[in-house]
Structure 1
Amino acid sequence: MTQSEAQLEESLVQRLTGLGYARVSISSSDELIANLKRQLEKHNQVKLSEAEFERVLNHLDKGNVFDRAKTLRDRFALKRDDDSTVWLQFLNMEEWCRNEYQVTHQISQEGTYKNRYDVTLLINGLPLVQIELKRRGLEMKEAFNQINRYQRHSFWSERGLFNFVQVFVISNGVNTKYYANQRKQSFKQTFFWAKRDNTPITNLDEFADAFLEKCHVSKMICRYTVLQETDRVLMILRPYQYYAVEAIVEQVKTSRKNGYIWHTTGSGKTLTSFKAAQILTHFPKVDKVVFVVDRADLDYQTTREFNHFKEGSVDGTNNTAELVKQFGDNGTKLIVTTIQKLNNAIGKDRYDATMQAVKDGRVIFIFDECHRSQFGETHKRITEYFTKAQMFGFTGTPIFADNAAKNALGKRTTKDLFGEQLHQYVITDAIRDQNVLKFSVEYWGKLKKKDGSLIDEEVAGIDTKEFFESEDRTDLVVRWVIDQHKRKTHGKDFSAIMAVSSVDALIQYYKQFRKHRAAGAHDLRIATIFSYGVNEDDQDADGLIGEPDFDLGKDVPENRHSREMLDEFIADYNKLYGTAFSTKQQGGFYNYYKDIGRRIKARDKEGFRDKDRVDILLVVNMFLTGFDAKKVNTLYVDKNLRFHGLIQAYSRTNRILNEVKSQGNIVCFRNLKKKTDEAIALFSDKNASETILIDPYEDYVAAFNEGVKALMGIAPTVDSIDALISEDDQLLFIKAFRNLMRTLNVLKTFSEFAWSDLWMNEQAFEDYKSKYLDLYDKVRAEKEAEDKASILEEVDFELELIRRDEINVAYILALLTQIKEAEQSESAEARESAASRKQTVLDLLGSEAQLRSKRELIEKFIADYLPAVPRPEEVEAGFEAFWTEQREQELAGFCAQEGLKREAVEEMIKQYHFTQRAPLRERVVAALVTKPKILERKGIVERVTRRLLELIETFDDN
């Protein structure tokens, strides 16, 4: 018999009671508040009057989740009734085990709607951990969606105490995950807990013992939850990050030994290293913590990212003199610098007086990507200068004996320089945990002999530069990319990087793309950047990708052509994006570099404008290491890569984002199969290819066709979906069709994709999709009405998988113009086709997710207004007049029904179009003619905001 949700809940409460939580019965907000008073009094060993406690509640009931996370961590100076002051602590952050722990369940709260929460962990009376459960067999994502609904509808209500939740836990008994209280994340940002060896802990009972144990969960909240200042969100460390930091901290506490952390590229090393550095700065016997990066741009990036986590935690070291000043300042414990500036600081006599004071101090060095320039004399010099230095390295791709390059000191591995490995989390671990994506690797344009066999360029000993950089070949590659780019990037919704072998090859590629754009063959936005130092050649002796050189050097004759080309390409960039960069300006090249990076990284941010996107970034070496952008999903490779350089470059594409980004796409125009297999074997294990690479095209075809069989068993025809009366049957259909959507999402990225390989043609898929969207509309309507509980309520329809940008209102208007032309044609056959064309438009309105909100209006135009439009060329103007009239009616009705000032609403709409963000609560309140009571305010603001966004979606979007 399947365990029910209630049984799962009771079992968990009993287990937590066994772990030392006091069981308490709390069913309402009033009881929660009364319990909070008792617990705060107990924790602070003080007795509060009702008036004093009311002042505490007023202090707590301010701000959003981020503000309250800060309040939780601060003390409160409570002015008592006798005018004395007592400092209240809400959470003991330093001795986190010394707090008061309780467990309760089924607390009810009423906000926009009434909700009951499953299991709540109270620390000092505040709800800091909320656990939502689903019965075995249901998806955890439903629990995640339920928490999102609670955040919208009720967590903020009745003093907003549930906005103090720091950690959410979701489970169906078999699988259990946790995540920080952050509204802006997707289900992809939820995590399994794990043992130190990365074995996942998925079962709820085991998770409770390991993660929810009182001291551990408090430690995760107090030490391993980070308040990220830039986006004002909470972040919590994943298990491998936790174990890495703990290992470094323990090493510093107990020894003077060095060590290194091997965490695969894309696993969040910056957050891990920040947290380690932050903790170590609090050690009284540690004089300095120095975070060392290997190039100027990473100095800037890392300083900025550290300050994301804690504002002002790092002062950027703009030059060596500033770095030396920070070494001499006793108030500066955390320093971020480049290895080059550090080398200058200890190597130049003029800095010696200041540096002598710290050279014998306890200095902890943390090296980012420690496989780079530290392998040489500089590393040796640093270790010899700082007599008590303790060194820790982070790397996603360590140096082993197999891939070590010779230098002046001989072959040096990561272990030679940093000692023992303190924690390991390799790419196979990250893929299993769904923390990074698999790769889809395709090989095109391989170099062959006349007999058809492949040529290995290294073994053959032939000069292939002339062949690879010939104009005919690069033109063929460019045509292939133009033809396939939309497929690879889901209709240009993602960006791609194209890595080529040399500056000369890059110039030729750029010109080819520009030529084809001028001819109207594509509208792709191509950006490029390169320097003209030796690092921008395709040197691949050791697998290291050269570091970018931001000093462009002298304008010598051999560089002049490259420099002129770069200036020309930057001028194209300026024209495309309205910028004004130039290599002739002081720092102009570096600023151009930063702008490209920002433009690509910002694609996943709210308010990003499509006209600012970069479709393809064309490079030789730049941006192939250390650059994280979630909206990059494709790498085109026409250069030699191997070992860590190959894994680093491939890993630009596999950051987790959403359901649409199902894998990182790698397209190789070189014979890199052998090198890919070698790199995978080196950095995971020799049998890891099937874990790291997605299945071949044929397997996804087979999976789709099996999905069609399953769907036919539920709904053999499109019309039979209407006969699915029970919600259980509807849920079966939703899951079966969603499975097809997910598989098709991957299939369409293969260049060989063809509908003819599938057991369902495109029209049938569109017909089923229309019914799927009808069910979505039905569920959404019932959810808004809240008139009954529904098992479909938390189902994620994943509509992003079926969005098609090309099917928009402009596309529909073009079809309507063709219909009007057909109706007025002299050809009887054309006139007869008008009706079927009209039906095609109506079908499209039903099957396209982004047109659903507009369907009723467009259907009204077609039925009532289109017949009166006299000529085809007037269809667009007629539609615009109709649309303006309908929008005006809807807007006037909205303002009248909600009691809103018209000019204030117009301003909110204008601001939304500029920022792409919902209006602030204060702005909505200010737009109301009559100000609502405090207790009514949140519900009214939410309703008005929802209706305003629906109006914008209907009339303005797409």
Structure 2
Amino acid sequence: MLIFQIYITTIQKLERFIKSNKGHTIFNGHVVIIFDECHRSQFGEMHAAITRAFKNYHLFGFTGTPIFAVNASSSGKPNLKTTVQAFGEKLHTYTIVDAIADRNVLPFKVDYVSTMREAENIEDKKISDIDRERALLAPERIANIVQYILEHFDQKTKRNVFYKLQDRRLAGFNSIFAVSSIEAAKKYYTEFKKQMANLPSDKQLKIALIYSFGVNEEEIDGVIDENSEDTSGLDQNSRDFLESAIADYNKMFGTMYDTSSDKFQNYYKDVSERVKNREIDILLVVNMFLTGFDATTLNTLWVDKNLRYHGLLQAYSRTNRILNSVKTFGNIVCFRNLEQATNEAIALFGDKEASGIVLLRTYSDYYNGYKDGDKEVRGYKDLVEELLAKYPIGEPIKGEQAKKDFIKLYGAILRLRNILSAFDEFKGNEILTERDTQDYHSIYIDLYNEFRKTAEGEKEVINDDLVFEMELIKQVEINIDYILELIKKYHKDHIKNKEILVDINKAIDATVGLRNKKDLILQFIDSLDAHSVVDEAWQKYIETKRREELEEIIKQENLNSDETYKFMQNAFRNGYITTTGTDLAKVLPPISRFSPTGERSKKRESVLNKLTQFFERFFTISNKEI
């Protein structure tokens, strides 16, 4: 009987295995070796060592950015410079254009931001590399870029968006900041700490720094191979700085990493996981994480380094993994003029006409409309004008067809608004006022509830021909803090200004996440007297109501009280309800598992449903301790 074995490893570990296991029987066996991301680490001694050691092998390589003659390194072996030389003729081509057209990845929106025009466009060959680098690392320029990132971070990463990821409720996305050198990384990290020192806690960003020793000094693509396992090649100053940054990280996350070989490997892995879980806001890198790293929560790449060809497209592609309907493109913010390099890379790995698919259109196209061949594509302005004309606020929408037409029209507006919100020019040109938006949101949510026939989903198909953009509705949700501020105004005015009460009701009705709390909020307003302190009264009120409602569920379902409180305590601490494991079983009353009518399963489903509704009602408006 034939026995097949599969090994998963890195090319560095495979090279070490070859060096330390000469004469191993595997070298004479029939072996199939598959390299992912084969545009890197395949054109030096490691590849040669592998092909010398194995006697009977087939090599396969996968890459979205192959090495052609035009983007090949000028150094190294002349017979090992391109992907074809390393692996032979290509078997199949599936480009980024195909992937975007098939909706397997997202297109890019690229912004070119100038903070010091002279520095970003230094191309004069007479200027020495030292002078060019000095200009690019000028303290004023570094400070301007950090200020820009801090001011635009919420907008670019959509921090007003709420969505679920593995049962966790998250606000917005996260980002990578790629810089030109270790020296630049140190300066930027220092400047971020300086500018964030006096910011309020809700504006503080979690920033992590990582770099290591790069073994290859040439960077035709702008990305040097960095060895994630090795910091020994760093100069003492760079290693000490990294040690300090890792100490900041340890303090932030309660970890114990440093730059020693074993612990640095684990630091690398931990950073990777925390980026994927959106626990890190900005990951500051030189070359690491710019190729082969996938995190669906990443939507923005800030760039202050020269990138070309495969290095550019690989770096950009960290942002375009599909997550949900709110993330519709990868955001690229360039602090150097990479427009020509971007167009060249897209032409090389797609085709000369690919930029129309790979890159987002202009602000004007989305706002005013554009022509796509013979097809007229309507813009945001035209759609909003139709909305205001056909569906004036305050007038009921009569008839099923009119309601369906409103749903389709407002859904199209939501999709365009989601894209336009990433453009700086959109601010002040929204046409709809905040109250208008709340009113239309409220109508949209009412119709969603009216038409809904299936379980909740990101995009829910209703009656076969309707799609509700509920993720896009949720992205402009108002939180309880905003409502409490309105209540304070109402209370301060001695409960006379009924217009504020109208604002409160409109805000709640326009927010999916607050509708199930409306009765709590209105009852709280009624409970206030002249001596009430709103914040204190709210906390006492909501804790009392939470306890009362949980006790009622325990009584109705005959649950184990201690285990129920323990179960919900864990849910409020973790941010989600656990549906697997034995914790829920301990909550349930004693019922035979072998009941012929499935009583235990029915009870489990009923209890889980009630506890989930309870959690969703109180999680965002109360503290974590029950």
What's the TM-score bracket when you normalise by the shorter of the two chains?
Answer: 0.7 to 0.9
Q: Residues 805 and 504 from structure 1, CA distance in 2 versus in 1: closer, same or farther, beyond 3 angstroms?
A: farther
Does the Cα contact within 8 Å between 2:477 and 2:512 map onto a contact in 1? no
Cα distance in 2 for partners of 1:509, 1:543 equals 19
Shift, 1:692, TM fit? 0.2
Q: Does 1:407 align with 2:62?
A: no
1:707 maps to: 383
Does the Cα contact within 8 Å between 2:113 and 2:336 map onto a contact in 1? yes
Shift, 1:475, TM fit? 0.5
Q: Residues 344 and 587 from structure 1, CA distance in 2 versus in 1: closer, same or farther, beyond 3 angstroms?
A: closer
1:787 maps to: none
2:90 maps to: 421
Does the Cα contact within 8 Å between 1:360 and 1:387 map onto a contact in 2? yes
- Which residue of 262, 267, 270 maps to 1:595? 270
Shift, 1:924, TM fit? 4.8
Shift, 1:646, TM fit? 0.3
Q: Residues 767 and 437 from structure 1, CA distance in 2 versus in 1: closer, same or farther, beyond 3 angstroms?
A: same
Q: Identity over the aligned pairs, expressed in percent?
A: 39
Does the Cα contact within 8 Å between 2:213 and 2:226 map onto a contact in 1? no
| Letter paired with 1:516 | Q
Shift, 1:549, TM fit? 4.5
Structure of greater Rg: 1
Question: TM-score when scaled to structure 1?
Answer: 0.58
Shift, 1:686, TM fit? 1.0
Q: Residues 917 and 886 from structure 1, CA distance in 2 versus in 1: closer, same or farther, beyond 3 angstroms?
A: closer
- Which residue of 574, 579, 589 maps to 2:250? 574
SS at 2:56's partner residue? Answer: coil
Cα distance in 2 for partners of 1:431, 1:370 equals 21
1:450-465 equivalences in 2 (<5 Å)? 455=121, 457=123, 461=127, 463-465=131-133
Question: TM-score when scaled to structure 2?
Answer: 0.86
SS at 1:366's partner residue? Answer: strand
Q: Residues 576 and 428 from structure 1, CA distance in 2 versus in 1: closer, same or farther, beyond 3 angstroms?
A: same
Give deviations 1:460-491, integer Å, cap 9, x for gaps.
65532111111100111111111111001111
1:799 maps to: 470
Shift, 1:810, TM fit? 2.9
1:424-443 equivalences in 2 (<5 Å)? 424-443=93-112
- Which residue of 615, 621, 626 maps to 1:952? 615
Does the Cα contact within 8 Å between 1:370 and 1:393 map onto a contact in 2? yes
| Letter paired with 1:927 | V
Does the Cα contact within 8 Å between 2:225 and 2:287 map onto a contact in 1? yes
Cα distance in 2 for partners of 1:396, 1:532 equals 26
1:929 maps to: 589
Q: Give unpaired runs (5+ residues) of structure 1.
A: 1-281, 285-330, 604-612, 785-789, 824-830
Shift, 1:806, TM fit? 7.9
SS at 2:620's partner residue? Answer: coil
- Which residue of 403, 408, 418 maps to 1:745? 418
2:485 maps to: 814
Give deviations 1:784-817, integer Å, cap 9, x for gaps.
9xxxxx9559955333223358832233223322
SS at 2:93's partner residue? Answer: strand
Q: Does 1:882 align with 2:541?
A: yes
- Which residue of 322, 332, 337 maps to 1:666? 332
- Which residue of 889, 913, 917 maps to 2:572? 913
Q: Residues 345 and 482 from structure 1, CA distance in 2 versus in 1: closer, same or farther, beyond 3 angstroms?
A: closer
1:338-417 equivalences in 2 (<5 Å)? 338-347=10-19, 351-353=21-23, 355=24, 357-410=25-78, 412-417=81-86
Shift, 1:447, TM fit? 6.2
Higher relative contact order (CA 8 A, sep 6+): 2
| Letter paired with 2:207 | I
Give deviations 1:74-124, integer Å, cap 9, x for gaps.
xxxxxxxxxxxxxxxxxxxxxxxxxxxxxxxxxxxxxxxxxxxxxxxxxxx
Q: Residues 346 and 513 from structure 1, CA distance in 2 versus in 1: closer, same or farther, beyond 3 angstroms?
A: closer
SS at 2:62's partner residue? Answer: strand
Shift, 1:659, TM fit? 0.5
| Letter paired with 2:531 | P
| Letter paired with 1:865 | S
1:729 maps to: 402
1:308-319 equivalences in 2 (<5 Å)? none
- Which residue of 191, 204, 209 maps to 1:523? 204
Cα distance in 2 for partners of 1:619, 1:393 equals 27
Does the Cα contact within 8 Å between 2:295 and 2:321 map onto a contact in 1? yes
Shift, 1:682, TM fit? 0.5
Shift, 1:859, TM fit? 1.3
Q: Residues 926 and 340 from structure 1, CA distance in 2 versus in 1: closer, same or farther, beyond 3 angstroms?
A: closer
SS at 2:516's partner residue? Answer: helix
Give deviations 1:422-472, integer Å, cap 9, x for gaps.
11111001001100000000001176469xxx8452656553211111110
Does the Cα contact within 8 Å between 1:443 and 1:670 map onto a contact in 2? yes
- Which residue of 523, 527, 530 maps to 1:865? 527
| Letter paired with 2:236 | R
Q: Residues 408 and 923 from structure 1, CA distance in 2 versus in 1: closer, same or farther, beyond 3 angstroms?
A: closer
2:231 maps to: 552
Q: Residues 446 and 458 from structure 1, CA distance in 2 versus in 1: closer, same or farther, beyond 3 angstroms?
A: farther
Shift, 1:524, TM fit? 1.2
Cα distance in 2 for partners of 1:494, 1:939 equals 38
1:749-898 equivalences in 2 (<5 Å)? 749-756=422-429, 758-779=430-451, 796-803=467-474, 807-823=478-494, 834-862=497-525, 864-866=526-528, 868-871=529-532, 874-898=533-557
Give me the CA root mean square deviation.
2.8
| Letter paired with 1:836 | E
Q: Does 1:617 align with 2:288?
A: no
Cα distance in 2 for partners of 1:895, 1:796 equals 38
Give deviations 1:195-227, integer Å, cap 9, x for gaps.
xxxxxxxxxxxxxxxxxxxxxxxxxxxxxxxxx
Shift, 1:632, TM fit? 0.4
| Letter paired with 2:527 | Y
SS at 2:99's partner residue? Answer: helix
Q: Residues 892 and 553 from structure 1, CA distance in 2 versus in 1: closer, same or farther, beyond 3 angstroms?
A: closer
Shift, 1:637, TM fit? 0.2
Does the Cα contact within 8 Å between 1:426 and 1:684 map onto a contact in 2? yes
Shift, 1:926, TM fit? 5.0
Q: Residues 569 and 542 from structure 1, CA distance in 2 versus in 1: closer, same or farther, beyond 3 angstroms?
A: closer
Shift, 1:861, TM fit? 1.4
Cα distance in 2 for partners of 1:560, 1:766 equals 57
Q: Residues 345 and 925 from structure 1, CA distance in 2 versus in 1: closer, same or farther, beyond 3 angstroms?
A: closer
Cα distance in 2 for partners of 1:366, 1:791 equals 44
SS at 1:797's partner residue? Answer: strand
Does the Cα contact within 8 Å between 1:681 and 1:688 map onto a contact in 2? yes
SS at 1:651's partner residue? Answer: helix
Cα distance in 2 for partners of 1:358, 1:446 equals 57
1:300-339 equivalences in 2 (<5 Å)? 333-339=5-11
Q: Residues 888 and 779 from structure 1, CA distance in 2 versus in 1: closer, same or farther, beyond 3 angstroms?
A: farther
2:164 maps to: none
Larger mean Cα displacement after TM superposition, 922-931 or 663-672: 922-931
Cα distance in 1 for partners of 2:448, 2:328 equals 23
Q: Does 1:565 align with 2:233?
A: no
Cα distance in 2 for partners of 1:506, 1:668 equals 16
Cα distance in 2 for partners of 1:671, 1:742 equals 29
SS at 1:405's partner residue? Answer: coil
Shift, 1:414, TM fit? 1.1
Q: Residues 382 and 956 from structure 1, CA distance in 2 versus in 1: closer, same or farther, beyond 3 angstroms?
A: closer
Does the Cα contact within 8 Å between 1:540 and 1:642 map onto a contact in 2? no
1:266 maps to: none
SS at 2:289's partner residue? Answer: coil
2:156 maps to: 488
Cα distance in 1 for partners of 2:264, 2:134 equals 30
Does the Cα contact within 8 Å between 1:456 and 1:671 map onto a contact in 2? no
SS at 1:666's partner residue? Answer: strand
Cα distance in 2 for partners of 1:800, 1:398 equals 36
- Which residue of 348, 351, 357 maps to 1:685? 351
